[in-house]
Amino acid sequence: MIHEKEIEIRWRDLDAFNHVNHVVFLTYLEEVRDEWLGRVLEDAALVWGYVIARVEIDYRRELTLSDDAIVARCSLERLGTKSVTTREAILTRDGAISAEALAVLVARDEQTGSRVISDLERAAFERAAARA
């Protein structure tokens, strides 16, 4: 399952060069990743059971206010024992790639830190991968 979300570029997203600041790209990706995770797991409580361990991003094209909005994408790249890797992208409305990213989310336990992904969660991720 590839999840897409359109996000408006806000004036506050711009930096002194009048383009979207590189850190804001991470916010766009977080928005689509959180939504994707919620749709895959279908339980808000489970969504809060993951934390980001790594984000790798390649910037391909700047964004400006004249781009108006972006389309952020997220899908499952890899399912591990304790982690999930997502493939993510930011595109302009006309399909130009502005950034590509991989993110590693680790299943979290409040007491022990990381935890094994449950059978219920694994089945949900596998269903999402099958729909991709």
Digits of tens for pLDDT over the chain (132 positions)? 899 999 999 999 999 999 999 999 999 999 999 999 999 998 878 888 999 999 999 999 999 999 999 999 999 999 999 999 999 999 999 999 999 999 999 999 988 889 999 999 999 999 998 886
Give the range of the structural domain holding residue 25, as residue numbers without chain letter. Answer: 3-131
In the prediction, which pLDDT does 1 show? 85
Work out the angle at residue 126's Cα, subtended by the Cα atoms of residues 124 and 128, and round it to the nearest 5 degrees: 70
CATH of the domain at 116: 3.10.129.10
In the prediction, which pLDDT does 35 show? 95
Residue 74 near residue 33, CB atoms below 8 Å: yes
Give the total number of structural domains in the chain. 1
Any idea which residue has 């934390």 for tokens?
51
The rounded distance, in Å, linking the Cα atoms of 71 and 61 is: 14
DSSP codes of every residue in 1-40: --EEEEEEPPGGGB-TTSSB-HHHHHHHHHHHHHHHHHHH
| Burial of 119 from C-beta contacts in 10 A (0-12 / 13-18 / 19+) | exposed
In the prediction, which pLDDT does 44 show? 79
**Which DSSP state fits 130?**
H
